[in-house]
Amino acid sequence: MSRIEACFATLKEQQRKALIPYITAGDPSKTVTVPVMHAMVEAGADVIELGVPFSDPMADGPVIQKACERALAAGTGLRDVLAMVTEFRRDNDTTPVVLMGYLNPVEIMGYERFADACVDAGVDGVLMVDLPPEECDDVAPLFKSRGVDLIFLIAPTTTDARISRIAAAASGYLYYVSLKGVTGSASLNVEEVARRVETIRNLAQLPIGVGFGIKDAQSARAVSQVSDGVVVGSALVNQSAENVDTPDRIAPAVAAILADMRAAMDKQ
């Protein structure tokens, strides 16, 4: 059983929902990331989405764009991100790590080399924002055969036929994008999310995480009640932006937000 599968199975048994934080690797420096990952796990994170910085993050709002710029200025490339996961795995062999980013850095490394590197580093899943299932027939087997989950987005605009197609290509979990827009956009409509998650459930077997627009403990709790997990990104990345000159404060600040969310999600 993969780490992601095991993670969701355990959560289901405990009747808890997954808390899935996102941070951009190497923001604002390469040394910050691994300690922040450990702090997130201690604060209650179940799965970590680690952003691979890209020069042209088209699906992201200003918060994550700037995080990418800071990470790139610090010299963070895909190889560095893989090295961070290797380092994280020295002290943590259970928390799933998903690399999230855009296709081009992978394209340059080569898909097979990247898939091998994921296995070596202990990466459990890969979410490439600009790789729809239509374009991944050639590359999907490289990941599947190595036990690396391919995670896909489902949007408010996704038709039922596409949901089925995405679910067939995906493994690990599905990531429902709760609103039309870029990351860090305005607040979400929980009732609408609940309806969409229900639709997806009827068409797919995988656990469903919901992200985009989750900012605080209240929204995390509300969304967790209608899904299998919540993804939180910009609210955490903001802590890096605010502590560029005081990087020691990033881990505690991120952990505090997650601990609040965890408590709100677990409250009966």
Amino acid at 172: G
Instruction: Pick the closer one to other proteins by CB: 166 or 257.
Output: 166
The pair of structure tokens assigned to 26 is 């190497």
Q: By rule CB under 8 A, what count of residues binds other proteins?
A: 44
Instruction: Identify whether the C-beta of residue 25 lies closer than 8 Å to the C-beta of residue 84.
Output: yes
Least distance CB 176 / other proteins (angstroms)? 10
d(CA 185, CA 63): 10
Q: Could you say whether residue 116 binds other proteins (CB under 8 A)?
A: no
Cis peptide before 62 (omega within 30 of 0): no
Instruction: Pick the closer one to other proteins by CB: 135 or 248.
Output: 135
Pick the binder of other proteins from 84, 126, 166, 206 (CB under 8 A). Answer: 166
Least distance CB 92 / other proteins (angstroms)? 26
d(CA 10, CA 28): 34
Catalytic annotation present for 60: yes
d(CA 100, CA 254): 19
Cβ neighbours of 179 (radius 10 Å): 17
Q: Could you say whether residue 180 binds other proteins (CB under 8 A)?
A: yes
Instruction: Identify whether the C-beta of residue 233 lies closer than 8 Å to the C-beta of residue 127.
Output: no
Using alpha carbons, list the distances in angstroms from residue 135 to 139, 146, 181, 238, 255: 8, 19, 22, 33, 37
Least distance CB 257 / other proteins (angstroms)? 25
Catalytic residue (one of 49, 124, 149, 228): 49
Secondary structure (3-state) at 161: helix
Catalytic annotation present for 42: no
The pair of structure tokens assigned to 39 is 């702090």
Least distance CB 3 / other proteins (angstroms)? 24
* Interactions with other proteins, residue window 54-113 (CB under 8 A): 54-62, 65, 69, 72, 77-79, 102-109
Catalytic residue (one of 27, 46, 60, 124): 60
Instruction: Pick the closer one to other proteins by CB: 17 or 66.
Output: 66
Q: Could you say whether residue 241 binds other proteins (CB under 8 A)?
A: no
Q: Could you say whether residue 2 binds other proteins (CB under 8 A)?
A: no
Instruction: Pick the closer one to other proteins by CB: 62 or 141.
Output: 62
d(CA 137, CA 83): 28
Pick the binder of other proteins from 67, 118, 123, 131 (CB under 8 A). Answer: 131
- How many degrees, rounded to 5, is the angle at CA 261 between CA 50 and CA 38? 40
Amino acid at 205: Q
Q: Could you say whether residue 16 binds other proteins (CB under 8 A)?
A: no
> What is the phi/psi pair of residue 175, to 5°?
-110, 105
Pick the binder of other proteins from 35, 147, 156, 247 (CB under 8 A). Answer: 156
Least distance CB 251 / other proteins (angstroms)? 26
Q: Could you say whether residue 168 binds other proteins (CB under 8 A)?
A: no
Contact set with other proteins (CB under 8 A): 54-62, 65, 69, 72, 77-79, 102-109, 129-132, 134-135, 152-159, 162, 166, 177, 180-182, 185
Report, as residue numbers or ranges, the catalytic residues: 49, 60
